[in-house]
Amino acid sequence: MAEETRAEGASKVELAPVVSGKVNIKKKSEGKKFLEAMFQGDLVTIKDSIVDNVFVPAIKELIWNTIERAVKGLMYGDFSSSRNSERNSIPARQVDFTRFSDRRRRDDYYDRGHDDIYDYGEIFLQERRDAEALLDRINELLDKYQWVSVAQLYELAGLRGRYTDHNYGWRERDRNDIYITTTRGGYLVKMPRPRPFD
């Protein structure tokens, strides 16, 4: 209940733009929307999951097997016979590819039956200082209200949004998923998927 009150208070705050340079807004492509809908998370989370659950264990196993073969070869003097027998005797390791959605649950949002995806335009900035100013102000609002709406993000960038932008936003717990990334034409403050006010 306290979170709802803070969120309502945050949505009523008038904000001055912190961006002085050129700002472009770009809607997400159909392919990106499809990927977000299919995986219900951002692609960074999926990439992290694949790296953590597939590549890192495979590299560790490769290093371990190489060291083990080298030691056996030095001790017993036979490098070739152990390689074939070990390959046949090692069982295949199963990887749970659904863990990426369990690893970083986005609170109980999906458990409550919300499966809608709010489509908002990403904000591209020409100047790094504008991106940093926008990120700093977002963090200030998260510190004070624990919530920032899509409408407030647009206001900070000097843009006008839709009326429904006041109903969606990001919580304080999303802070670690908000960062600046470089694009071909400038900078983007990368935001996770916005959630509805409850």
Q: Domain spans of the chain?
A: 2-39+119-196, 46-101
Residue 134's pLDDT band (cuts 50, 70, 90):
very high
What pLDDT is recorded for position 114?
Answer: 46
Q: How many CB atoms lie within 10 A of CB 79?
A: 12
Residue 108's pLDDT band (cuts 50, 70, 90):
very low
Q: What are phi and psi of 190, to 5 degrees?
A: -75, 125
Strand order across the 168-171 sheet: 147-149, 168-171, 195-196
Region of poorest pLDDT, from 2-6, 65-69, 144-148: 2-6
Whether the per-residue pLDDT at 9 is higher than 90: the answer is no
Whether the per-residue pLDDT at 38 is higher than 70: the answer is no
Kindly report the pTM of this predicted structure: 0.55
Q: 98 or 14: which carries more pLDDT confidence? A: 14
d(CA 148, CA 153): 7
Q: Which residue in this structure is represented by tokens 């590299």?
A: 59
Q: How many CB atoms lie within 10 A of CB 104?
A: 16
Whether the per-residue pLDDT at 32 is higher than 80: the answer is no
Cβ proximity of 49 and 85 under 8 Å: no
Q: How many CB atoms lie within 10 A of CB 51?
A: 10
What three-state secondary structure class fits 6?
Answer: helix
Kindly state the tokens that stand for 95: 């990887």
